[in-house]
């Protein structure tokens, strides 16, 4: 038996409970978790913004050590340190054949599987977003496991599985920020802090962080922000004032709210680019009129998992980490235990802090 954070049903509070894991079958891997990040996507599963089968063990951003492997698993072995990949590509769907592995049609197929059982009554459990990282140990498909970068502590490497890949990819793959461009980042949570660092690495000349909380300014500046704006109805106007009345070249929205997406778009210059990373609900409707779309010539694009391919991007990120350009520890504002995850969810709802990291 191992302990895990279980979501009994959509809208229900998380329960810390004992679960029973099977030994890994063919193509499966058992992992002892070292750390797991608490991401807003996990919160989106609890409130129904994103839908997966329940009851489920949540957590999708983690790293740990291989305990055992099933038949046919050859790319890793017991004792190896690994990073979990919650959205593995199948390699054969239309998106994968186009090289757009982040849009794989089958990436979340494993979330429908029964991967474990509750110890108290033997009831079935699903792996929230494939990997069920909010547990002392987990069993996952082999394609959900990537070798951890050498020289990177597992407690840092856990963040590579979502926040860093997403933030870095939003800047370098989706928005394609060029040296000397100006960037505004909306939302200073874990992904937002990673995005700020990525903008700095890209050589952005001005990096403006935007958040509802004045308390996050120091975090944002440590991550690379040159300016800080407390969100209000005047946000777009303030950003234009900071950029010679032009607006930024690029805005990255990490919140997932209609008003924030609209403001991010309005904050860019004529011909500017807005990348939306935040996951919003179906009720969040963003509206534009036809004339303004023509006049401003701006681009609005969605961004899934940073438009990243973890297999090729992790080595790049590892080089940035080893060179000191990327500081993963700066994304973490709180180290917690498994029992503290519900409180960490409350903090996210309240807009407090950056990334909470579960240390096992």
DSSP string, 176-194: -PPTT-EEEEE--SHHHHH
Residue 144: which H helix or E strand, with range? none
What are the residues whose beta carbons fall under 8 Å from the beta carbon of 198, sequence distance 6 or more?
A: 167, 168, 170, 171, 172, 177
Right CATH for 167-304 from 1.10.645.10, 3.90.740.10, 3.30.460.80, 3.40.50.720: 3.40.50.720
Eight-state DSSP code of residue 55: S
For 323: left if phi > 0, alpha if psi spans -120 to 50, otherwise beta; the answer is: alpha
Residue 88 CB neighbour total at 10 angstroms: 25
d(CA 54, CA 48): 11
- Whether 43 and 140 have beta carbons less than 8 Å apart is answered as no
Phi first, then psi, for residue 31 (nearest 5°) are -130, 135
Residue 343: which H helix or E strand, with range? helix 341-349
Alpha carbon dihedral 86, 91, 92, 98, in 10-degree steps, equals 100
**pLDDT tens digit at each of 360 positions of the chain:** 999 999 999 989 999 999 999 999 999 999 999 999 999 889 888 888 888 899 999 999 999 999 999 999 999 999 999 999 999 999 999 999 999 999 999 999 999 999 999 999 999 999 999 999 999 999 999 999 999 999 899 999 999 999 999 999 999 999 999 999 999 999 999 999 999 999 999 999 999 999 999 999 999 999 999 999 999 999 999 999 999 999 999 999 999 999 999 999 999 999 999 999 999 989 999 999 999 999 999 999 999 999 999 999 999 999 999 999 999 989 999 999 999 999 999 888 888 878 999 999
Between the CA of residue 237 and those of 137, 160, 183, 246, what are the distances in Å?
49, 34, 15, 10
Right CATH for 2-161+327-359 from 3.30.565.10, 3.40.640.10, 3.90.180.10, 3.60.110.10: 3.90.180.10
Give which of 7, 57, 39, 41 is closest to 281, Cα–Cα. Answer: 41
Alpha helices, H only, 202-324: 217-223, 235-241, 258-266, 290-296, 310-322
Q: Is the alpha carbon torsion for 38, 39, 42, 48 positive or negative?
A: positive
- Token look-up 């959900």 returns 144
Sorted by where each begins, the domain ranges of the chain are 2-161+327-359, 167-304
Between the CA of residue 187 and those of 151, 228, 257, what are the distances in Å?
30, 11, 11
**What is the b/e burial string over 25-46, where b = at least 16 CB atoms within 10 angstroms of the residue's CB?**
eeebbbbebbbbbbbbbbbbbb
pLDDT value of residue 348:
86
Eight-state DSSP code of residue 231: -
């Amino acid at each position: 038996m191992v302990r895990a954070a279980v979501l009994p049903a959509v809208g229900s509070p998380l329960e810390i409970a004992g679960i029973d894991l099977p030994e890994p079958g063919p193509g499966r891997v058992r992992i002892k978790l070292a750390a797991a990040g608490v991401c807003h996507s996990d919160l989106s599963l609890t409130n129904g913004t994103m839908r997966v089968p329940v009851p489920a063990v949540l957590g999708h951003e983690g790293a740990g050590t291989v305990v055992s492997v099933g038949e046919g698993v050859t790319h890793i072995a017991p004792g190896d340190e690994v990073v979990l990949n919650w959205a593995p590509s199948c390699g054969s769907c239309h998106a994968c054949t186009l090289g757009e592995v982040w849009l794989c049609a089958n990436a979340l197929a494993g979330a429908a599987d029964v991967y474990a059982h509750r110890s108290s009554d033997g009831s079935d459990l699903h792996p929230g977003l494939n990997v069920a990282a909010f547990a002392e140990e987990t069993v996952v498909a082999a394609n959900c496991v990537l070798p951890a970068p050498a020289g990177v502590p597992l407690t840092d490497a856990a963040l590579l599985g979502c926040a860093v890949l997403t933030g870095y990819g939003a800047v370098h793959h989706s928005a394609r920020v060029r040296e000397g461009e100006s960037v505004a980042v909306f939302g200073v949570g874990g992904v937002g802090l990673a995005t700020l660092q990525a903008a700095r690495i890209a050589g952005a000349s001005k990096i403006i962080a935007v958040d509802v909380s004045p308390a996050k300014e120091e975090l944002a500046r440590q991550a690379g922000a040159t300016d800080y704006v407390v969100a209000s109805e005047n946000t777009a106007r303030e950003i234009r004032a900071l950029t010679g009345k032009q607006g930024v070249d690029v805005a990255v929205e990490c919140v997932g709210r209609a008003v924030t997406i609209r403001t991010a778009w309005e904050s860019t210059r004529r011909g500017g680019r807005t990348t939306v990373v935040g996951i919003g609900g179906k009720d969040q409707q963003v509206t534009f009129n036809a004339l303004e779309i023509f006049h401003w010539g701006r681009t609005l694009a969605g961004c899934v998992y940073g438009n990243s391919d973890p297999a090729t991007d992790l080595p790049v990120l590892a080089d940035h980490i080893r060179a000191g350009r990327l500081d993963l520890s700066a994304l973490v504002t709180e180290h917690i235990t498994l029992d503290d995850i519900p409180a960490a969810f409350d903090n996210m709802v309240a807009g407090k802090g950056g990334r909470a990291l579960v240390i096992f």
